[in-house]
């Protein structure tokens, strides 16, 4: 039996420039962090005493007779890619998540990275974080044909608060953003994460953004430049909270122009309410349409913003640095049929 734990992520700046169609021509960069909210996956070989071949537990309970009958697209794709035509083993897979899916925190990539990690571990293989991210990107893009960028897989596999550069030749560089502990904690303490209550399929919104890449080149270039500006703010001697928040506000004004459906009247109401209560700035996380919103709020206004948004779920979190991990591994007595 294998248990993996893979973090969700928050993306601050540069989102959109991690789409393959963009960075292969222009290059891209993202400033993002993993957080201490996780996707947990338990995977083992299913004993051969059941009518069904596999048991998959997520928001549904599936009892398929073959990999091809699995409804969960990522599970079907990953088992198919890693096992090929080999149906000699049945699998039992349980998913548990700290936060809801389809909400802008990279949950689908956390799931893909965590399941790939678990499958390698079940087969007795160690795999690097770089290979985990690369394999998840390939499966989500090429096998599932999802409209996804490349930042989520990298952040959830590696963990940490990083600048991620996407090069025209396809190479991806991950560089930790270094700052004194006190400054990092001050940044964390200024962040407020709330759930709008609306889940959506990010691929649908992302498809519109990808269609608009050429017509939104100015906005995307400016959003890419904000990665440099944000890092300069965090490394400057002055208190970073207000300028970081104001920059996030500018980023949101650009992001909402990328495609129809990025924002909604509901999202706009929440955003304006937070600013009116004292937030410096914020953004909707993920491709858009709903999910979680992040705000930068001065300490003396945080209670006021929480009160103004009291109808929303407020999620307390911290940054994390571990990335995807195998929490538990034990030899399975059914892995070789005996």
The domain spans of the chain are 2-176+321-329, 181-315
In angstroms, what CA-CA distances link 235 with 12, 299, 331?
A: 16, 20, 47
Query: Is 29:163 a contact under the CB 8 Å cutoff?
Result: yes
Query: Is 163:31 a contact under the CB 8 Å cutoff?
Result: yes
The CATH number of the domain covering residues in 2-176+321-329: 3.30.230.10
User: For every one of its 338 residues, what pLDDT tens digit does the chain have, with 9 covering 90 and above?
Assistant: 999 999 999 999 999 999 999 999 999 999 999 999 999 999 999 988 888 999 999 999 999 999 999 999 999 999 999 887 777 889 999 999 999 887 889 999 999 999 999 999 999 999 999 999 999 999 999 999 988 899 999 999 999 999 999 999 999 999 999 999 999 999 999 999 999 887 655 566 667 777 777 888 999 999 999 999 999 999 999 999 999 999 999 999 999 988 777 888 889 999 999 999 999 999 999 877 778 999 999 999 999 999 999 999 999 999 999 999 999 999 776 665 44
The predicted pLDDT at position 336 comes to 54
In angstroms, what CA-CA distances link 97 with 36, 58, 195, 245?
A: 12, 9, 15, 29
User: CA 185, 187, 193: angle at the middle one, nearest 5?
Assistant: 110
The predicted pLDDT at position 87 comes to 79
pTM of the model: 0.93
Residue 283 structure tokens? 């953004």
The predicted pLDDT at position 127 comes to 96
Query: Is 78:112 a contact under the CB 8 Å cutoff?
Result: yes
How far apart CA 303 and CA 301 sit, in angstroms, is: 6
CATH topology of domain 181-315: Alpha-Beta Plaits (3.30.70)
CA 257 to chain centre: 22
The predicted pLDDT at position 66 comes to 93
Cβ partners under 8 Å of residue 252, min gap 6: 271, 281, 282, 283, 284
* DSSP H/E element including 95: strand 91-97
How far apart CA 119 and CA 124 sit, in angstroms, is: 9
């Amino acid at each position: 039996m294998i248990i993996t734990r893979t973090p969700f992520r928050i993306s601050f700046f540069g989102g959109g420039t991690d789409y393959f169609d963009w960075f292969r021509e222009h290059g891209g960069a993202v400033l993002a962090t993993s957080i201490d909210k996780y996707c947990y996956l338990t995977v083992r070989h299913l004993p051969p005493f059941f009518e069904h071949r596999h048991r998959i537990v997520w928001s549904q309970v599936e009892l398929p007779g073959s990999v091809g009958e699995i409804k969960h697209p990522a599970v079907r794709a990953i088992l198919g890619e890693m096992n090929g035509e080999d149906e000699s083993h049945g699998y039992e897979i349980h998913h548990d998540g700290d936060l809801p899916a389809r909400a802008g925190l990279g949950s689908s990539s956390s799931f893909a990275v965590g399941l790939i990690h678990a499958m390698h571990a079940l087969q007795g293989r160690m795999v690097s974080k770089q290979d985990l991210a690369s394999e998840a990107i390939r499966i989500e893009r090429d096998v599932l044909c999802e409209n996804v960028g490349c930042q989520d897989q990298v952040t959830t596999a590696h963990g940490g608060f990083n600048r991620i550069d996407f090069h025209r030749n396809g190479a991806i560089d991950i560089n930790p953003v270094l700052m004194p502990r006190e400054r990092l904690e001050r940044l964390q303490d200024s962040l407020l994460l709330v759930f709008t209550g609306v889940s959506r399929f990010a691929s649908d919104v992302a498809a519109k953004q990808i269609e608009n890449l050429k017509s939104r080149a100015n906005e995307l270039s400016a959003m890419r430049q904000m990665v440099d500006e944000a890092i300069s703010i965090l490394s400057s001697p002055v208190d970073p909270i207000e300028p970081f928040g104001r920059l996030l506000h500018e980023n949101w004004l650009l992001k909402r122009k990328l495609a129809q459906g990025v924002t909604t009247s509901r999202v706009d109401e929440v955003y304006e309410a937070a600013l009116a209560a004292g937030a410096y700035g914020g953004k909707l996380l993920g491709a858009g349409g709903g999910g979680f919103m992040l705000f930068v709020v001065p300490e003396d206004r945080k209670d006021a913003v929480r009160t103004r948004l009291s109808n929303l779920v407020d999620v307390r979190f911290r940054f994390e640095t571990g990335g995807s991990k195998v929490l538990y591994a034990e030899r399975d007595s059914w892995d070789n049929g005996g």
